[in-house]
Amino acid sequence: GDSVTQMEGPVTLSEEAFLTINCTYTATGYPSLFWYVQYPGEGLQLLLKATKADDKGSNKGFEATYRKETTSFHLEKGSVQVSDSAVYFCALRFQGAQKLVFGQGTRLTINP
Amino acid sequence: DTAVSQTPKYLVTQMGNDKSIKCEQNLGHDTMYWYKQDSKKFLKIMFSYNNKELIINETVPNRFSPKSPDKAHLNLHINSLELGDSAVYFCASSQGIPQETQYFGPGTRLLVL
Protein backbone atom coordinates (compact mmCIF):
# COMPACT_ATOMS: atom_id res chain seq x y z
CA GLY A 1 0.00 0.00 0.00
CA ASP A 2 0.93 3.67 -0.13
CA SER A 3 3.30 4.75 2.59
CA VAL A 4 5.70 7.47 3.68
CA THR A 5 8.95 6.86 5.53
CA GLN A 6 10.87 9.59 7.33
CA MET A 7 14.25 9.53 8.93
CA GLU A 8 14.22 8.45 12.54
CA GLY A 9 14.35 11.15 15.12
CA PRO A 10 14.93 12.88 17.30
CA VAL A 11 17.28 15.24 15.49
CA THR A 12 19.24 17.76 17.54
CA LEU A 13 21.21 20.57 15.92
CA SER A 14 22.85 23.80 16.91
CA GLU A 15 21.49 27.13 15.75
CA GLU A 16 22.58 28.07 12.20
CA ALA A 17 23.31 24.46 11.28
CA PHE A 18 22.16 22.94 7.99
CA LEU A 19 19.09 20.73 8.22
CA THR A 20 18.04 17.75 6.16
CA ILE A 21 15.11 15.53 7.08
CA ASN A 22 14.75 12.63 4.67
CA CYS A 23 11.41 11.49 3.32
CA THR A 24 10.75 8.72 0.83
CA TYR A 25 7.45 7.34 -0.34
CA THR A 26 5.96 4.24 -1.86
CA ALA A 27 2.97 4.79 -4.10
CA THR A 28 1.42 3.65 -7.33
CA GLY A 29 1.21 6.75 -9.48
CA TYR A 30 2.21 10.33 -8.81
CA PRO A 31 0.92 11.79 -5.59
CA SER A 32 1.16 15.32 -4.29
CA LEU A 33 3.71 15.65 -1.51
CA PHE A 34 3.58 17.78 1.63
CA TRP A 35 5.56 18.78 4.67
CA TYR A 36 3.56 19.69 7.78
CA VAL A 37 5.01 21.10 11.00
CA GLN A 38 3.66 20.70 14.52
CA TYR A 39 4.94 23.19 17.07
CA PRO A 40 4.70 22.20 20.75
CA GLY A 41 1.12 22.09 21.96
CA GLU A 42 -0.34 23.02 18.57
CA GLY A 43 -1.99 21.34 15.60
CA LEU A 44 -0.29 20.64 12.29
CA GLN A 45 0.37 23.45 9.84
CA LEU A 46 1.21 23.09 6.18
CA LEU A 47 4.83 24.09 5.65
CA LEU A 48 5.20 23.46 1.92
CA LYS A 49 4.00 21.24 -0.88
CA ALA A 50 4.78 20.05 -4.40
CA THR A 51 2.26 18.57 -6.78
CA LYS A 52 4.38 17.17 -9.60
CA ALA A 53 7.84 15.84 -10.34
CA ASP A 54 10.72 18.35 -10.12
CA ASP A 55 8.52 20.92 -8.36
CA LYS A 56 10.20 22.66 -5.45
CA GLY A 57 8.12 23.73 -2.49
CA SER A 58 9.49 26.47 -0.24
CA ASN A 59 8.41 28.45 2.79
CA LYS A 60 10.11 30.15 5.77
CA GLY A 61 13.54 29.19 4.46
CA PHE A 62 12.62 25.51 4.12
CA GLU A 63 12.74 23.76 0.74
CA ALA A 64 11.88 20.35 -0.63
CA THR A 65 12.08 19.05 -4.20
CA TYR A 66 9.79 16.33 -5.59
CA ARG A 67 12.17 13.67 -6.98
CA LYS A 68 10.25 11.07 -8.94
CA GLU A 69 13.32 9.01 -9.80
CA THR A 70 14.22 8.49 -6.15
CA THR A 71 10.63 8.78 -4.81
CA SER A 72 11.86 11.34 -2.31
CA PHE A 73 10.87 14.71 -0.88
CA HIS A 74 13.66 15.65 1.53
CA LEU A 75 13.22 18.76 3.66
CA GLU A 76 16.17 21.18 3.86
CA LYS A 77 16.99 24.48 5.50
CA GLY A 78 20.30 26.26 5.26
CA SER A 79 20.41 27.83 8.73
CA VAL A 80 18.03 26.66 11.44
CA GLN A 81 16.80 28.71 14.36
CA VAL A 82 15.67 27.76 17.85
CA SER A 83 12.11 28.60 16.75
CA ASP A 84 12.26 25.77 14.18
CA SER A 85 12.10 23.22 17.00
CA ALA A 86 9.02 21.14 16.23
CA VAL A 87 7.84 17.81 14.84
CA TYR A 88 7.93 17.61 11.05
CA PHE A 89 5.64 15.31 9.05
CA CYS A 90 6.00 14.27 5.45
CA ALA A 91 2.75 13.29 3.74
CA LEU A 92 1.32 12.30 0.37
CA ARG A 93 -2.08 12.53 -1.27
CA PHE A 94 -3.29 11.30 -4.61
CA GLN A 95 -5.12 13.60 -6.97
CA GLY A 96 -8.83 13.28 -6.40
CA ALA A 97 -8.31 11.52 -3.08
CA GLN A 98 -9.32 12.88 0.28
CA LYS A 99 -6.85 11.02 2.40
CA LEU A 100 -3.44 12.29 3.50
CA VAL A 101 -0.97 9.54 4.32
CA PHE A 102 1.57 10.70 6.88
CA GLY A 103 5.04 9.58 7.79
CA GLN A 104 5.84 8.90 11.42
CA GLY A 105 7.11 12.41 12.15
CA THR A 106 10.62 13.62 12.99
CA ARG A 107 11.20 15.61 16.16
CA LEU A 108 13.70 18.43 15.65
CA THR A 109 15.35 20.30 18.51
CA ILE A 110 17.55 23.32 17.87
CA ASN A 111 19.90 24.38 20.65
CA PRO A 112 21.11 27.99 20.96
CA ASP B 1 -10.37 34.15 15.03
CA THR B 2 -9.60 30.47 15.38
CA ALA B 3 -10.00 28.68 12.05
CA VAL B 4 -10.47 25.13 13.36
CA SER B 5 -11.35 24.78 17.02
CA GLN B 6 -11.78 21.72 19.20
CA THR B 7 -13.26 21.19 22.64
CA PRO B 8 -12.19 20.08 25.09
CA LYS B 9 -8.44 20.55 24.87
CA TYR B 10 -7.81 17.90 27.52
CA LEU B 11 -9.99 14.97 28.53
CA VAL B 12 -9.21 12.56 31.33
CA THR B 13 -11.69 9.77 31.93
CA GLN B 14 -12.12 6.23 33.20
CA MET B 15 -12.28 3.07 31.12
CA GLY B 16 -15.79 2.20 30.04
CA ASN B 17 -17.05 5.79 29.92
CA ASP B 18 -18.56 7.49 26.87
CA LYS B 19 -17.17 10.84 25.77
CA SER B 20 -17.49 13.32 22.91
CA ILE B 21 -15.07 15.71 21.27
CA LYS B 22 -16.39 18.65 19.29
CA CYS B 23 -14.89 20.36 16.26
CA GLU B 24 -15.91 23.54 14.49
CA GLN B 25 -14.38 25.34 11.53
CA ASN B 26 -15.15 28.89 10.39
CA LEU B 27 -13.31 28.66 7.07
CA GLY B 28 -16.36 27.81 5.01
CA HIS B 29 -14.84 24.46 4.06
CA ASP B 30 -17.00 21.57 2.97
CA THR B 31 -14.79 18.68 4.11
CA MET B 32 -13.78 17.77 7.65
CA TYR B 33 -11.59 15.02 9.11
CA TRP B 34 -10.67 13.28 12.32
CA TYR B 35 -7.10 12.04 12.85
CA LYS B 36 -5.59 10.08 15.72
CA GLN B 37 -2.02 10.70 16.84
CA ASP B 38 -0.59 8.01 19.07
CA SER B 39 2.12 8.32 21.71
CA LYS B 40 4.83 7.85 19.10
CA LYS B 41 3.46 10.81 17.11
CA PHE B 42 2.20 8.53 14.34
CA LEU B 43 -0.77 10.28 12.69
CA LYS B 44 -3.54 8.35 10.98
CA ILE B 45 -6.85 9.37 9.46
CA MET B 46 -10.03 7.99 11.03
CA PHE B 47 -12.95 9.64 9.24
CA SER B 48 -13.77 12.27 6.67
CA TYR B 49 -17.04 14.02 5.88
CA ASN B 50 -17.90 16.05 2.81
CA ASN B 51 -21.05 18.17 3.00
CA LYS B 52 -22.19 16.12 6.00
CA GLU B 53 -21.70 12.82 4.17
CA LEU B 54 -19.20 10.20 5.32
CA ILE B 55 -16.58 9.66 2.61
CA ILE B 56 -13.68 8.06 4.47
CA ASN B 57 -14.09 5.49 7.20
CA GLU B 58 -10.83 3.76 7.99
CA THR B 59 -10.67 0.57 10.02
CA VAL B 60 -11.81 2.18 13.23
CA PRO B 61 -13.71 0.29 15.96
CA ASN B 62 -17.43 0.97 15.81
CA ARG B 63 -17.18 2.41 19.32
CA PHE B 64 -16.14 5.56 17.45
CA SER B 65 -19.02 7.40 15.80
CA PRO B 66 -18.60 10.69 13.99
CA LYS B 67 -21.52 13.06 13.62
CA SER B 68 -21.73 16.03 11.28
CA PRO B 69 -24.78 18.19 12.06
CA ASP B 70 -23.72 20.73 9.42
CA LYS B 71 -20.73 21.52 7.20
CA ALA B 72 -19.02 23.54 9.90
CA HIS B 73 -19.11 20.89 12.62
CA LEU B 74 -17.79 17.36 12.99
CA ASN B 75 -18.07 15.74 16.39
CA LEU B 76 -16.55 12.48 17.54
CA HIS B 77 -18.33 10.28 20.05
CA ILE B 78 -16.50 7.39 21.66
CA ASN B 79 -18.34 4.65 23.56
CA SER B 80 -16.87 2.29 26.15
CA LEU B 81 -13.48 3.95 26.24
CA GLU B 82 -10.42 1.69 26.40
CA LEU B 83 -6.85 2.35 27.53
CA GLY B 84 -5.68 2.14 23.91
CA ASP B 85 -7.89 5.07 22.98
CA SER B 86 -5.50 7.39 24.81
CA ALA B 87 -4.07 9.67 22.13
CA VAL B 88 -4.30 13.15 20.69
CA TYR B 89 -7.24 13.57 18.33
CA PHE B 90 -6.99 16.20 15.63
CA CYS B 91 -9.80 17.68 13.60
CA ALA B 92 -9.03 19.18 10.20
CA SER B 93 -10.89 20.79 7.32
CA SER B 94 -10.37 21.54 3.66
CA GLN B 95 -12.27 22.80 0.67
CA GLY B 96 -13.37 20.89 -2.35
CA ILE B 97 -12.89 17.54 -3.98
CA PRO B 98 -10.09 17.16 -4.77
CA GLN B 99 -9.18 19.08 -1.70
CA GLU B 100 -6.38 21.48 -1.20
CA THR B 101 -4.58 22.23 2.03
CA GLN B 102 -5.95 20.68 5.18
CA TYR B 103 -6.16 23.01 8.18
CA PHE B 104 -5.77 21.36 11.56
CA GLY B 105 -7.22 22.15 14.95
CA PRO B 106 -5.05 22.30 18.09
CA GLY B 107 -5.90 18.76 19.13
CA THR B 108 -7.69 17.10 22.04
CA ARG B 109 -5.49 15.09 24.37
CA LEU B 110 -7.48 12.10 25.65
CA LEU B 111 -6.21 10.06 28.57
CA VAL B 112 -8.11 6.94 29.57
CA LEU B 113 -7.30 5.62 33.04
A1-53 pLDDT, tens digit per residue, is 788 999 888 999 999 999 999 999 998 788 999 999 999 888 889 999 998 89
Q: What is the mean pLDDT of residues B36-44?
A: 86
CA-closest candidate to residue A93, choices A102, A85, A84? A102
Cross-chain Cβ contact B99/A98 below 8 Å: yes
Q: Which one-letter DSSP state was computed for residue A52? A: S
Strand A106-111 to A11-14 pairing: parallel
Residue B2 banded pLDDT, cuts 50, 70, 90? low
Q: What is the mean pLDDT of residues B68-81?
A: 94
**Which among A46, A49, A96 is the nearest to B98, CB-wise?**
A96
- Best of A100, A101, A109 to disrupt the B interface by mutation (most B CBs within 10 Å)? A100
Cross-chain Cβ contact A96/B4 below 8 Å: no
Q: What angle do CA B105, A100, A87 make, to 5 degrees?
A: 55
Chain A residue whose CA is closest to B103: A45
Number of inter-chain CB pairs under 8 A, A vs B:
50
Residue A54 banded pLDDT, cuts 50, 70, 90? very high
Q: Does A49 touch chain B (CB under 8 A)?
A: yes
CB contacts, 8 Å: B40 with chain A: 104
pLDDT value for A29: 81
Residues of chain B contacting A, Cβ within 8 Å: 4, 31, 33, 40-45, 48, 50, 55-56, 90, 92, 97-99, 101-107
Bridge partners, B89 (sequence order): B36, B108
pLDDT value for B1: 61
Greatest alpha-carbon pair distance for chain A in Å reads 43
Residue A95 reports pLDDT greater than 60:
yes
> Across chain B, what does the average pLDDT equal?
90
Strand B87-94 to B31-37 pairing: antiparallel
Residue A90 reports pLDDT greater than 60:
yes
